[in-house]
Structure 1
């Protein structure tokens, strides 16, 4: 009932139609995003594209490994309804036919058997004053004390040096290059927004936002540590929410690291856990040499 299609066999018209009409719709599964972020990918299909499941592939030591690409948080199963039986079929097919290092389903997916969970934080479209009531007390105070800062929207081409100098979390040069390729792609798609906080004339913090239809997604929050005491990150997120949350939801795109999780929650964000299939390197090697 599940068919595996390599990239050249995919009917992208039917694939896109399935995504657009799915209950689980997200931007990570779009063809153009997967084309950019994945080394290669293929597709599992149920019926005539009634349900689909994109599978990112990377070659490691001569073997094809399923691994989530950088900046691609959730994939999983997409279709017109929630159907746990069909999801289990996809999961079983994935485990039987692929060497999986990591594969993240989306938070709508019901399949959870023996799977770990990862955290994401999200704010639905709402009125800012209602959201503000859900801020943690300490966050309200921090935002209030930072009102001497200035909020501006920025042009990406003018601030690459700030990003390069202050970016944290990516150690490999190839990963950093991939980040900038992704930014360039988003800009070409007219989906990139940059916002900054200033102390007098000095840029202290920058938020890199994906502007996608009715949602803002936080791709990166870049902080200059010499201005840490000015609380520019709190000021910046608050102003973005103040000006946009009435018409766009806000996806923090993460939250599994304790300190970052608390920061996101403090703005009244709600938890969205999503299942992830993970194998250790040891277990993966056993599966590789067993076949």
Structure 2
């Protein structure tokens, strides 16, 4: 009933159809996205593509480990209806047949056994005026209001803006990771799935929000700030403007986080907690 298929064995027409009809639809499970972010992946299949689970792989010390690609938050089981028994079979097969460093399921997936969970925050499609009045934290309303001297623009991906992102992006220390991020931006741009929203102080670019733009969702890939202008409250201004423009038609996904300060920032806009289970080897984590 459960099969492991190498990349060249996958029937991508059936795989894509399973994703499209699934209850857990997810940007990161798409073939073209996994090709870009992982490059090396295969799938587990239940029956004739009744359910699928993509498995990203990375070779280290000559051994293939299961590890979530950089910039990929959730994968997991995709099926027409989330089924705990089928999910359990996928989980056991994954644990038995792979060396799992880190694998994140999606927030729809439930299991009989306890799995640790990570935090995500989202805002469903809403009326902006009601969202701001009822769900914004009082302090966030005030901060966003005080930043109205800034100018909001949606900008193109060009050399100048890539340079800003490269200079001010926090958390990417390796040159290879920075390159991967820039390559991903170009991939999103060519896929018509990139939205760059910016805050300007007069003529000066001070903040950029990098968003994955899907049909019914915006996902925050990065919020990049010139710390020289920290007192201008650009991040609050920018998120508020994006919600003002789009929350009436698109869900907003903050894409994390488990860091307390960032978590409070997301919640202060009315972000709702959305936890997702993950599997991680504590032994492999210590060795990394």
Normalising TM by the smaller chain, what interval?
A: over 0.9
For structure 1, the 5+ residue unaligned runs are: 286-291
Task: Provide Cα deviations, 1:97-122, integer angstroms capped at 9, x if missing partner.
Answer: 00000000000001262321101100
Would you say the 8 A contact 1:112–1:275 is kept in 2? Answer: no
Task: Provide Cα deviations, 1:53-111, integer angstroms capped at 9, x if missing partner.
Answer: 00001101010100000011000000000210110000000000000000000000012
Which residue does the alignment assign to 1:102? 102
Could you say what secondary structure the match of 2:70 adopts? coil
Which residue does the alignment assign to 1:191? 193
Could you say what secondary structure the match of 1:156 adopts? coil
Which residue does the alignment assign to 1:179? 181
Structure 1 residue 200 displacement after superposition = 1.1
Structure 1 residue 284 displacement after superposition = 8.5
TM-score, normalised to structure 2, is 0.97
Residue 163 of structure 2: which of 157, 161, 164 is its match?
A: 161
Taking the aligned partners of 2:144 and 2:193, their CA distance within structure 1 comes to: 27
Structure 1 residue 130 displacement after superposition = 1.4
Which residue does the alignment assign to 1:269? 271
Would you say the 8 A contact 2:15–2:52 is kept in 1? Answer: yes
C-alpha distance 124-59 of structure 1, shift in aligned 2 (>3 A) = same
Structure 1 residue 177 displacement after superposition = 0.5
Structure 1 residue 282 displacement after superposition = 4.5
For structure 2, the 5+ residue unaligned runs are: none
Would you say the 8 A contact 2:116–2:277 is kept in 1? Answer: yes
> What CA RMSD, in Å, does the superposition of the two structures yield over aligned residues?
1.2
Taking the aligned partners of 1:71 and 1:81, their CA distance within structure 2 comes to: 27
Taking the aligned partners of 1:111 and 1:177, their CA distance within structure 2 comes to: 37
C-alpha distance 92-198 of structure 1, shift in aligned 2 (>3 A) = same
For these two proteins, the number of residue pairs brought into alignment is: 285
Taking the aligned partners of 1:257 and 1:112, their CA distance within structure 2 comes to: 28
Which residue does the alignment assign to 1:60? 60
Pair 1:45 & 2:30 matched: no
Would you say the 8 A contact 2:84–2:111 is kept in 1? Answer: yes
Which residue does the alignment assign to 1:225? 227
Taking the aligned partners of 2:174 and 2:167, their CA distance within structure 1 comes to: 15
Taking the aligned partners of 2:112 and 2:279, their CA distance within structure 1 comes to: 9
Which residue does the alignment assign to 1:114? 114
Structure 1 residue 260 displacement after superposition = 0.6
C-alpha distance 112-272 of structure 1, shift in aligned 2 (>3 A) = farther
Could you say what secondary structure the match of 1:159 adopts? helix
